[in-house]
Structures are given as C-alpha cells and as structure tokens.
Amino acid sequence: MKCKNCNATMEIDPSKQEAVCPYCGAKELICDSDAVAVEKIKSSTFKEMEYAHMENQRRQQDHIEKEKERLILMGLLANLLLHLYSPSL
C-alpha cells in the first residue's frame, strides 16, 4: 500500500484498520481489505495457529507413545498366556 502524498510504503495498523505513512503522517482508512487481513494474521492469528499446531503435534506424540506402551503390554500378555497354556514350550 502506497501513500498518496509521497508514494512511500504505508504502515498498516490492524487494530484501527487504517494505514499511516511513516514519512508524511498521512492516514488512510481501510475497511477489511486484504492488507488488513494479512496484518491481522501476522500479528495474532498466526501465533495462535502455531500454538494450536504445536499442541496438536504434542497430543499426537502422546497418543503414539501410549499406543506403543499398550502394544508392548499386549505383546507381553500374549507371550505370558502362550507360556501358561502351552506347557510344551
């Protein structure tokens, strides 16, 4: 987004939904434009998404670990039963 006065790149304030030129101080109101959406995503949503993603990965890892433990336990149990019910082994 360029400033109409001096053609410098304007800084977008997502909370106020306006762009401010850092050189001449010109302000321009922007209503839900792509630029605002992008800035919003950059500032807050991205962090939340990243956090949620990490949390999700952690949960999946936990699940995998528990599943492994369960399989190992079941394997041991199966072995034990085999030994109990097959005296020849």
In the complex, the residues that contact Zn ion under the rule CB under 5 A are 3, 5-6, 8, 21, 23-24, 26
Task: Report, in Å, the least distance between residue 9 CB and Zn ion.
Answer: 9
Structure tokens at 12: 């977008």
Structure tokens at 46: 């991205």
Task: Report, in Å, the least distance between residue 13 CB and Zn ion.
Answer: 15
Q: Exposure of 79 by Cβ count < 10 A (0-12 exposed, 13-18 middle, 19+ buried)?
A: exposed
Single-letter amino acid code for the residue at 34: D
CB nearer Zn ion, residue 7 or residue 45: 7
Distances (CA, A) of 52 to 43, 45, 47: 15, 10, 9
CB nearer Zn ion, residue 16 or residue 66: 16
CB nearer Zn ion, residue 24 or residue 37: 24
Task: Report, in Å, the least distance between residue 38 CB and Zn ion.
Answer: 21
